């Protein structure tokens, strides 16, 4: 039995409707996302964990950024392919926010940490983003 898989156009319409309903401002464009990902890839040694939340269903996951990611192979002008914990396509506009936790449990259940002050410096060099910070995380909002 075949299951229905929505097209990118279907997903786009659904996202646009949800975004209009839920938010009054969009802080990120696809071009800004590409610039952000390029900058994170260049500084991948600092990035150990990126969490994100999806607009449509509120599911949370992780983005995987490594130094060997390539534009036009791992990520494109509209989204990522498999660079996330859902191991599927993820359009940039699907992401409500991303966060960089100060501490987190790794795959071996050990506590790991990352320097969010250094990550914040990288973000500020890349561009202007809506970021907030506390002792637990650095968070970048994509909508407001």
Give residue-wise pLDDT tens across range 9-68: 888 899 999 999 999 999 999 999 999 999 999 999 999 999 999 999 999 999 999 999
Name residue 60's beta-bridge partners: 53
For the chain, where are the alpha helices, taking DSSP H only? 8-22, 30-42, 116-126
Give domain status of residue 1, yes or no. no
Is residue 86 a part of any domain in this protein?
A: yes
**pLDDT tens, 93-111?**
999 999 999 999 998 999 9
In 46-75, which positions are buried (b, 16+ CB within 10 angstroms) versus exposed (e)? bbbbbbbbbbeeeeebebbbeeebeeeebb
- Domain tally, the chain: 1
Which token pair is 30?
């696809």
The two three-digit tokens of residue 109, written as one number:
């259940």
Identify whether 106 is part of a domain.
yes
Residue 65: give the domain boundaries. Answer: 26-137
8 Å CB contact between 122 and 45 = no
Is the pTM for the entire model greater than 0.75? yes
Q: Is residue 9 part of a domain?
A: no
In a domain, 117, yes or no: yes
Q: Would 37 be classed as within a structural domain?
A: yes
On whether residue 46 sits in a domain, the answer given is: yes
Any domain includes 20 = no
């Amino acid at each position: 039995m075949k299951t229905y898989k929505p097209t990118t156009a279907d997903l786009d319409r659904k996202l646009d409707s949800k975004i209009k309903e839920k938010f009054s401002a969009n802080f990120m464009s696809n071009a800004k996302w590409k610039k952000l990902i390029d900058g994170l890839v260049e500084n991948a040694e600092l990035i150990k964990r990126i969490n994100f939340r999806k607009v449509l269903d509120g599911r949370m996951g992780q983005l995987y950024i490594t130094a060997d990611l390539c534009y036009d192979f791992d990520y494109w002008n509209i989204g990522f392919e498999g660079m996330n914990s859902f191991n599927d396509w993820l359009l940039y506009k699907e992401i409500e926010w991303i966060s960089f936790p100060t501490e987190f449990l790794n795959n071996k259940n050990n506590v790991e940490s990352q320097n969010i002050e250094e990550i914040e410096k990288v973000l500020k060099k890349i561009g202007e983003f809506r970021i907030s910070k506390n002792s637990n995380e650095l968070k970048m909002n994509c909508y407001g």
